[in-house]
Amino acid sequence: MIHGNIVDIFAIDNKVAITDPVYPVYLDTNVMAGRSGKYNEKKGTYENIVYLPVTAENNFKPELPKEKVDMIYLCFPNNPTGTVLTKEDLKVWVDYAKQNNSIILYDAAYEAFIEEENIPHTIYEVEGAKDVAIEFKSYSKTAGFTGVRCAYVVIPKTVKGYTKNGEEVKFNTLWNRRTCTKFNGVSYIVQRAAEATYTNEGKKQIEENIEYYKENARIIKKGLEEAGFSVYGAVNSPYIWLKVPEQMTSWKFFDKLLEEVNIVGTPGSGFGPHGEGYFRLTAFGTRENTIKAIERIKNWNI
């Protein structure tokens, strides 16, 4: 939800960059706020929004925008692709933001799934990020809070924007004002639940839970690869991003998967035009169902 609220503290004519495919909330909240132009049916994109393709061709690493943008949404480990950026990859974005007075809106919702070395757990591991980055951290995926809703946002006092007259404004001050005006806070019982995730027992339970999902992700990745699919993500992430067979759209694959082996997933094209030809599966199921589904896919004559 914070992702939807943060747009309040930016000017309406700020230019937004998102990856394509993307977690739809970043795009839709800005469209609702009036920050986009018209929708182009044919291209499946909005005018005035900068789309940064992330596909197998560029190894799921977005390239810097060719024009100056003001707000850059980055989410790593990524939803939907399950891919990550290294510290060096992220440094390029921090440097761009510094040079262009842009703000990076960094979503670390899946940080707890990181297992590889040199993958930053927070953007503040990158030098200079404290001057240009706002970070979101939701409890939804770390601690299974999806229905309960609790999250926090980090806005260092060094992150500044500029008024039309060139005056410096701290985003921290704007956010404080915005929150005190429009939000009454997360309920006490939910705050206590969030607090409990930092106790030894809480940490242990969360780790076990995440390990359970990560094992599901390994099972899905291995099974799909054995079935001949190209598979991305699934390592530092609960998401498995697969390439659908040639000449098939994401939705065609969705239909076949549902009708022929009774498995539901998410068509990549729903996350943006460059998600076309891909498909997202998640590890957030039971072990039993995960194994059953993968067996069906392996025996599937697609």
Ligand X SMILES: *Cc1c(COP(=O)(O)O)cnc(C)c1O
Least distance CB 248 / ligand X (angstroms): 26
C-alpha distance from residue 243 to each of 69, 102, 106, 228, 258 (Å):
30, 33, 26, 10, 17
Judged by beta carbon, residue 83 or residue 138, the one nearer ligand X is 138
Least distance CB 251 / ligand X (angstroms): 21
Residue 276: name the closest of 243, 299, 298 by CA. Answer: 243
Least distance CB 156 / ligand X (angstroms): 20
- Residues in the site for ligand X, rule: CB under 6 A? 1, 23, 75, 79, 107, 109, 138, 140-141, 146, 149, 151
Rounded to an integer, what distance in angstroms lies between the CA atom of residue 167 and that of residue 147? 41
Judged by beta carbon, residue 79 or residue 250, the one nearer ligand X is 79
Judged by beta carbon, residue 149 or residue 256, the one nearer ligand X is 149
Which residue's entry shows tokens 């005035």? Answer: 48
C-alpha distance from residue 214 to each of 91, 239, 242 (Å):
27, 9, 17
**216 in Cβ contact with 290 (< 8 Å):** yes
Q: What are phi and psi of 8, to 5 degrees?
A: -60, -30
Judged by beta carbon, residue 171 or residue 239, the one nearer ligand X is 239
Query: Which residue's Cβ has the minimum distance to ligand X?
Result: 138
Least distance CB 105 / ligand X (angstroms): 11
Least distance CB 268 / ligand X (angstroms): 15
Q: What are phi and psi of 169, to 5 degrees?
A: -130, 135
Judged by beta carbon, residue 223 or residue 278, the one nearer ligand X is 278
Judged by beta carbon, residue 54 or residue 109, the one nearer ligand X is 109
Least distance CB 148 / ligand X (angstroms): 9
Contacts of 279 (CB under 8 A, 6+ apart): 241, 242, 244, 250, 253, 254, 257, 265, 266, 267, 268
